[in-house]
Amino acid sequence: MREGPAEEGRPRRRLLGRRPNELRRAGDRTRGRWIAAFRLSPLIAVLCGIVIGTAVWNAENRAAQAEALHRHRIPATTVGQAERALPVRFNEPRMATAQVAWEYPVSHRHTDTVLVPVGTPVGGKVTVWVDDAGREASEPRREGEVASTAVAAGAAAFGVTVLSAGGVVWLRLRRVEAHSLAAWDREWELLEPRWSGRVRRDPGVEDD
């Protein structure tokens, strides 16, 4: 059986806090709208995370590609004993530091301390990453590192958006609650004398 327009519109009114109710006050409707806004905040946060994550991916990927153009992997020779083994992660080769020498550009000799496999003898052959001037440099960032940075940026944007929305809604709800309580106090001040049967005395009027 097909639902009528009224039935189809109920979920939307329920989400937006617009269900017809004669007992609902203005503060209740405002409270409902802010709660509905908070319910939509995760969707907005997901969109922000995707946009920011994509932007970071594009920027970091371009930077990594430009950086790779100025990185060169060249052969080098150890001139000192490999020592001071460093701790490594699981399933990674053990590395140590050693003095190595290389030539880049041609006839430009360089010497520096770099990471080499543990047990590399003096005179052993290794490879190093250098920049255009031949100085020791870091390896170009891999695609996985760029992706991790983009995912972290997107996740941070999602979290910040949700927390910010929660903070704004919380502050607004506190303000709505304060106004509602103040309105209740004013109305009760007017209603209580009639409701309790107590005669309300005007200021300055004395009893006979």
Same domain (yes/no): 82, 134: yes
Q: What is the DSSP letter of 120?
A: P
- pLDDT for 26: 65
Q: Is the pLDDT of residue 200 over 60?
A: no
Count of domains for the chain: 2
Is residue 207, in this structure, part of any structural domain at all?
A: no
- pLDDT for 35: 83
Q: What is the mean pLDDT of the chain?
A: 79
Same domain (yes/no): 10, 111: no
Provide CB contacts within 8 A for 45, sequence distance 6+: 157, 158, 159, 161, 162, 165
d(CA 48, CA 50): 5
d(CA 68, CA 120): 27
d(CA 29, CA 106): 77
Name the residue range of residue 93's domain.
Answer: 72-139
Residue where a domain stops, chosen among 139, 162, 183 = 139
What is the average pLDDT across 142-152? 92
Is residue 206, in this structure, part of any structural domain at all?
A: no
Percent of the chain predicted with pLDDT > 70: 71
Is residue 130, in this structure, part of any structural domain at all?
A: yes
Is residue 202, in this structure, part of any structural domain at all?
A: no
- pLDDT for 49: 93
Is residue 199, in this structure, part of any structural domain at all?
A: no
Is residue 203, in this structure, part of any structural domain at all?
A: no
Q: Is the pLDDT of residue 132 over 80?
A: yes
- pLDDT for 19: 54
Give one word for 186, left, alpha or beta, with left for phi > 0 and alpha for psi -120 to 50. Answer: alpha
Same domain (yes/no): 152, 59: yes
Same domain (yes/no): 53, 150: yes
Q: Is the pLDDT of residue 21 over 70?
A: no
Same domain (yes/no): 101, 132: yes
The pLDDT tens digits of the residues spanning 92-118 come to: 677 888 999 999 988 899 999 888 888
Please name every residue paired with 117 in a beta bridge, in sequence order, or none if there are none.
95
- pLDDT for 150: 94
- pLDDT for 202: 52
Same domain (yes/no): 96, 49: no
The pLDDT tens digits of the residues spanning 153-197 come to: 999 999 999 998 888 888 887 887 777 777 676 767 776 666 666
Is residue 153, in this structure, part of any structural domain at all?
A: yes
Range with the lowest mean pLDDT among 63-77, 133-147, 193-207? 193-207
d(CA 98, CA 85): 10
For 116, counting Cβ atoms within 10 Å of its Cβ (0-12 exposed, 13-18 middle, 19+ buried), the class is buried
Q: Return the higher-pLDDT residue of 13 and 185.
A: 185
Same domain (yes/no): 55, 154: yes
Q: Is the pLDDT of residue 60 over 90?
A: yes
- pLDDT for 125: 93
Q: Is the pLDDT of residue 206 over 60?
A: no
Is residue 38, in this structure, part of any structural domain at all?
A: yes
Q: pTM of whole model > 0.85?
A: no
